[in-house]
Every structure is written in C-alpha cells, then in structure tokens.
Amino acid sequence: MSKQDQVFGSRVAAFRKERGMSQAELAAEIGRTASWLSQVERGIQPVNRLDVLRLLADALGVSQATLRPDLPESDVPSAGEANEIKPNDLDQARLLLSGHPALEALLTDQDAANRASLSELRSAVDRVWELTHADKFAELSSTLGPLVPRLERAVRTAPAEERAELSQLLGRTYAALAAAFVRQGEPDAAWVAADRSIRAAEQSGQPLQVCAGIYRLAQAFVRLKRLDQAEHAATTAADALAQYVSTHDDPEALSVLGALHLQLATVHAKAGDRARTREEIQRAREVARRLGEDRNDFNLEFGPTNVEIQAVSSAVELGDAGEAIDLGEGIDATGLSVERQARLLMDLGRAYSQRRQPGEALGYLLKAEELAPEMISSHIASRDTIRELMLVAGRSASPELRGLAERADAKP
C-alpha cells in the first residue's frame, strides 16, 4: 500500500460523498464491485489504467487531472476525447429492430412464388456471419436490410416442415447482429437482437442455440455495465448446461458451456475480481480438456486455444500486463479464425502499452491491423490504446504510430 494510493483513495471517497453516492452506486456506475471500490478508497487497490481512471472521473463529475493531480500532463486526454464516438456503420441495421419486422405477413396472404429458397437463405446467413467476423459492419448492415424481413416473413408463411430450420436461420442472424452491435459499441441494440435470437432459437427447437443466444445477451449486459445481469444470465445457462453434459457426451454442448464460462470470466474481470476470474478460466480449461479440440459451434469459437486467448484478455482487463504477455507470447493461434488471431495480437499490444513499452505495443497492433484492419478501427479498446500511445509519445510519435492513429481515427 503506497502513500500515493492512499491519497488517491481518500480523494475518490471525498468526491463520492460530495455527490451523495454510496460505494455500491458508484461501483455500479463504472461497472465494478463495491468491494473493489472499497479497496480503492482504502488505498489497497491501485488504479493505474487510464481507462479506469477516466470512468471514475466521469462518474464523479470531475476531471482526471482533479482526481489524479500527479498524473503526467501528457497522459491526460484532451477535453471531450473520452466521449468521442466513431460514426456507426450499423445505423440501418438498428432500424431493423424498430417496430415489427413483418407486419404485412400477418395482415395479408403472401405469394409463395416470392419466397426465397432454403438454400439461398442458408447461404445468406453464412455470409452474414462472415461479415460479422470480419467486422465489415457497413456491408453487414446493407445485407441485413432485405434479409431480416425476408426471414421474418418466411418463418410465418413457409410450409410447416420448413419453419423449424427457418427459425434457426433467423436466430443465427439475430445472434450475428447482436455480436456486431456489441463490437460497434451499441449494447442496447445488442440486447434487443440477442433477445430475438433466443426466441427464434427456442421456436426452432434448438436449446443449445438458445444458450448461445444467452451468451450474446450476457455480452450486451457487460457493455451496458450491468454486470449483475450478465452474471445471472450466463450463470443460469451454464448451470443448466453443466447438468446436461454430466450425462451427455455432446461436443456442441461442451463448446457452449465453455464459452459461457469464458463470458463469466469477462464479467468478473470487468468487476476487478481476480479470484473469480481465474476460477472461471480454470473451469473453462477443464471443459476444453474434455472437449479436446478447438471448435466453432454457434460461432462462439471455443477450445483449448481460445481459453488461453481469453486468459490473456482477462489479464489485460485486470491490469496484469506481465501475466498477459507471458501467456500470450506462448500461444499458437494460427489454427483459429483471423478474428481470434487479431484479438490476441491486439491484447498483447494493450498489455505492452500498460507496461509502458510503446515499441512492442505498436508492433503487435500493426500485426493485428494487418490481419483485421476493421477490428483495429472499430474496437473501442484498441482505439483507446492507440490514442494512449499517441498521448505518451507526443510530438515524438513515429510515422508508423501516426499512420495507425489516422487509419483507426484514434488521434488525440
């Protein structure tokens, strides 16, 4: 416990009391637990990350410089920077969630000749997921514009023997939309899309797809900083699946169960709870050992390699940069999707940034951009990291860093 951390904690407590907030209220505002905040205020838990400092300052209604006068001026973001929002490529997709998607199918008879074939719809939904994994949100949005109403109409008007598969395709489409909204920073829309994916999956008679939809729902809750709801949703699904796999050797079920444990690890990492984060990572490792391979059931990508990638991400979230680097540099992710490979590289870049090793951080971010340029430009955490590197470098920023910041729209 340092004197600096004690002074900082006392300052946080004083501003909190001035605003008439309880520890539980402030913790909920920034997506942390009351116990974590209590440790901060007592000087036990240091706050070294700029993004966490920014959350605290915003919630307390003060500037970061007021909260941490000792912070070097070059590390303090300029006014309004924290609230900068990148233009949203999913505006058209968001409109799809407004109102009823297929009212005319309820009011009029549909001409069977105008229905798309199942094979066409299968291909279209596969393409939706390709675009989602590639973070090509503008193209995704334009693709979904006509596809979602077609699927919604087909579910209501197709022959009875086709409706279960059509519901499954609809559920997969809404799940992709939920995943995209989470990445684009639109968690309220992701909540709606995830809820619709769950309903469609249930109508298709696919309980594992329902659980996958709950995973997407928990993701939305995390982004909304509703960690209690995220934990409840993921835990109830994981408990039900754990009971099922205790008597069924079902790889798909194991894959979804493991993904839910990784989602719970994310929840606890966001709350700053190291012990529970590591418990969930260990549970996921046990499921992965039983599964024995990397899979991509319901587009959740779970397996032994993905568990370690999530362990890196959780360590970065907790500020344990050394642990993240030690784990991450030993992972061979070449057998996974480009998205997962790029995510590992991005998290290693974030970890080196936390360690104040800008050269290594930039190197990993550039590698991630080479694999998935859209991810680097759309992912909030990567853009924050690039901006932080620019702030630290100041006028001495290299041409490579300046170029990356320009491409990612992450200039200070």
Half-sphere CA count of 164, side-chain side, radius 13 A: 5
Tokens 């505006």 locate to: 91
Q: What are the respective helix, strand and coil percentages of the chain, to the nearest 5?
A: 75, 0, 25
Q: What angle do CA 398, 404, 409 make, to 5 degrees?
A: 125
| The model's pTM | 0.77
Q: Environment class of residue 185 by beta-carbon count within 10 Å: exposed (0-12), middle (13-18) or buried (19+)? A: middle
What is the pLDDT confidence band of residue 105, given thresholds at 50, 70 and 90?
Answer: low
Q: Helix, strand, or coil here: 74?
A: helix
Return the minimum-mean-pLDDT range out of 67-71, 355-359, 394-398.
Answer: 67-71
How many angstroms separate the CA atoms of 64 and 205, rounded?
51
Tell me if 162 sits within 8 A of 119, measured CB to CB: no
How many angstroms separate the CA atoms of 78 and 338, rounded?
34
Return the minimum-mean-pLDDT range out of 109-113, 218-222, 372-376, 393-397.
Answer: 109-113
Amino acid at 251: P
Mean pLDDT of 107-124: 75
Q: Environment class of residue 78 by beta-carbon count within 10 Å: exposed (0-12), middle (13-18) or buried (19+)? A: exposed
Q: pLDDT tens, 286-339?
A: 999 999 999 999 999 999 999 999 999 999 999 999 999 999 999 999 988 888
The mean of the pLDDT values for the chain is: 87
Is residue 220's pLDDT more than 90? yes
Query: Exposure pattern of 92-122 as b/e (b: 16+ CB <10 Å)?
Result: ebbebbeeebbeebeeeeeeeeebbeeeebe
Residue among 378, 254, 258 nearest 308 (CA):
258
Residues written for the chain: 412
At 253, give phi and psi (nearest 5°).
Answer: -65, -40
Residue 198, pLDDT score: 97
Using CA atoms of 20, 22, 25, 28 in order, give the dihedral in degrees to the nearest 10. 130
What is the pLDDT confidence band of residue 199, given thresholds at 50, 70 and 90?
Answer: very high
What is the pLDDT confidence band of residue 66, given thresholds at 50, 70 and 90?
Answer: confident
Amino acid at 127: R
Residue among 358, 366, 253, 258 nearest 310 (CA):
258
CA distances from 216 to 45, 129, 175, 221 (A): 31, 14, 7, 9
- The contacts of residue 280 (CB under 8 Å, 6+ apart) are 261, 262, 264, 265, 268
- The pairs formed by 246-253 with CB atoms below 8 angstroms and a separation of 24 or more are 251/291, 251/295, 251/297, 252/208, 252/295, 252/297, 252/298, 253/208
What is the pLDDT confidence band of residue 1, given thresholds at 50, 70 and 90?
Answer: low
Using CA atoms of 219, 224, 225, 230 in order, give the dihedral in degrees to the nearest 10. -40
How many angstroms separate the CA atoms of 143 and 191, rounded?
20
Mean pLDDT of 57-62: 87
How many angstroms separate the CA atoms of 232 and 266, rounded?
13
How many angstroms separate the CA atoms of 53 and 42, rounded?
16
Residue among 370, 352, 373 nearest 361 (CA):
352
How many angstroms separate the CA atoms of 37 and 191, rounded?
27
What is the pLDDT confidence band of residue 79, given thresholds at 50, 70 and 90?
Answer: very low
CB atoms within 10 A of CB 237: 24
Residue 84, pLDDT score: 38
